[in-house]
Amino acid sequence: MTHSAPSPTGTANSTRALSVAALGTLLTLMAFTAPLATINSTAADLMSDAAGRTWILSSMSIGLAAALLTTGTVADDFGRRRTFVLGAAVLALGAVVCAIAPNTLTFVLARILQGLGGAAVMASSLGIIAHTHPAGPVRAKASGVWGASVGAGIALGPLLAAVLDRWASWREAYVVLAVATAVLTVAAHLLVEESTSDAPRGLDPLGALLLATGVGALLAALVEGRQGWTSLVPILLFVLAALLLVGFVVFELRSTTAMLDLALFQHPPFVAATVAALATGGGIIALMSYMSGFLGIALGIDALGAALLLFGWSATSVVTALLARRLPASIGGRTQLAVGLVGVAIGMVMLTGLSENASWPRLLPGLLVAGVASGVLNAALGREAVAGVPAGRAGMGSGANNTARYVGSAIGVTIVAVVAVPVGASASGVVALVHGWNTAALVTAAISVFGAVVVAASRTRN
């Protein structure tokens, strides 16, 4: 069967595969963003301090960053459907533990577990799409749907959590996510055909461990550094993080089963897609992760109001991602990435200059601008992630791209918390919190601009 003229059965298979892959990605992003709108009530219920709040927001990113590359290899070598099903089951289990968590530590560990499961779902989803949709306009359209599912998940997660928090408690959102993900697990097993790569690479568990512990040590150093950057604990953690991450690079260079082929960083399309994903996580995702908690404490906007503002950003990105496939073919993927990052930066700059008397209409224009740009980014990232790697390694490309996004998110959330929340700031320090927000928005905008510059430079070297 040729890809140019798929049979009705082939078309049905590709439609089912795209539906399952997009729904899996949507549920993963809903789980990822669920705490954003309810961070204040969640932290209060779990008796979390400032460090605990930061870990609640960044913990799922650690699981995603740790496992995306490994699960991409697992998907390519041992079966994309099999990996998707296992990941969805783990994602559901993590949601169950979140729903019953008695304290911050249990909740954070459950969020890391959700990240591990979500990593398998996301890494295999783009591999499934690449296998069932031939390169060209068909795959571009499917990638647009996948990009829209990213935006939809980001939009619906906080909204679901906020509505259920008002109706019952924040815990019910995780019950709903657990049930929905369990249903999808069964559907994926029944509806998606199995596929593997023609060139297996083998697993790299030590590389995954070094990356996860390195990123975790870096986050811990940033959190502890808020109490004093010259103290012994953050210094030791920074040293440990550097040793682990350097060890990861050295091991990957020498390993015959490296989960990431570092030679790909000599390939401009791969560099562009990876840096764009890193800047997306460290920029707009990091700032939006902090926004709902800030709105509640500093501006008195409740969880549902904050979720609706987030929805203004993320829903706009969904629509834009779906429309992005209509862009002229002359506008290349890397151009879309660079323009998208600049647009996101403009939107975040529009979110600065707040005063303690600001209200929600002041935020909406910047969120809408950032939403349009985010949609362009999401659509282009889904396509460029698999276009920048050799044929048959779509899982690795997807894993590398999403790893960069969530490493950026984990680090970015922590940096935003450090910049935006002075030590000791509370509801009585509204002026300091608003000043911190304005600074954080500028920092994340700068991260986006830096990413756009690197993407543009990689394009000129092509």
Of 91-95, 165-169, 297-301, which has the strongest mean pLDDT? 91-95
- For 264-279, what is each residue's pLDDT tens digit? 777 788 888 889 999 9
Q: Confirm if 344 and 450 have CB atoms less than 8 A apart.
A: no
Nearest to 401 by CA among 462, 460, 444, 337: 337
DSSP 284: I
Considering Cα of 331, then 72, then 114, then 211, what sign does the dihedral take?
Answer: negative
- For 204-232, what is each residue's pLDDT tens digit? 778 878 887 888 888 788 777 766 777 88
Q: Taking 50 as the threshold, does the pLDDT of residue 182 lie above it?
A: yes
Cα–Cα distance for residue pair 437/350, rounded to 1 Å: 12
The two three-digit tokens of residue 50, written as one number: 């400032």
Considering Cα of 18, then 19, then 21, then 26, what sign does the dihedral take?
Answer: positive
Q: What angle do CA 187, 193, 199 make, to 5 degrees?
A: 135
Residue 210 neighbours by CB under 8 Å, 6+ apart: 244, 245, 247, 248, 251
- For 290-339, what is each residue's pLDDT tens digit? 888 888 888 888 888 888 888 888 888 888 877 876 776 667 778 889 99
Which of 78-87, 147-156, 298-307, 442-451 comes out lowest in average pLDDT? 147-156
Of 96-110, 292-306, 421-435, which has the strongest mean pLDDT? 96-110
Q: Confirm if 246 and 438 have CB atoms less than 8 A apart.
A: no
Residue 21 neighbours by CB under 8 Å, 6+ apart: 84, 124, 125, 126, 128, 129, 146, 192
State whether residue 5 is helix, strand or coil.
Answer: coil
Considering Cα of 283, then 327, then 459, then 350, what sign does the dihedral take?
Answer: negative
Its pTM stands at 0.80
Q: Taking 60 as the threshold, does the pLDDT of residue 3 lie above it?
A: no
Nearest to 89 by CA among 217, 182, 14: 182
Angle between helices 303-323 and 137-167 (to 10 degrees): 170
Q: What angle do CA 144, 273, 88 make, to 5 degrees?
A: 60
Of 175-179, 321-325, 431-435, which has the strongest mean pLDDT? 175-179
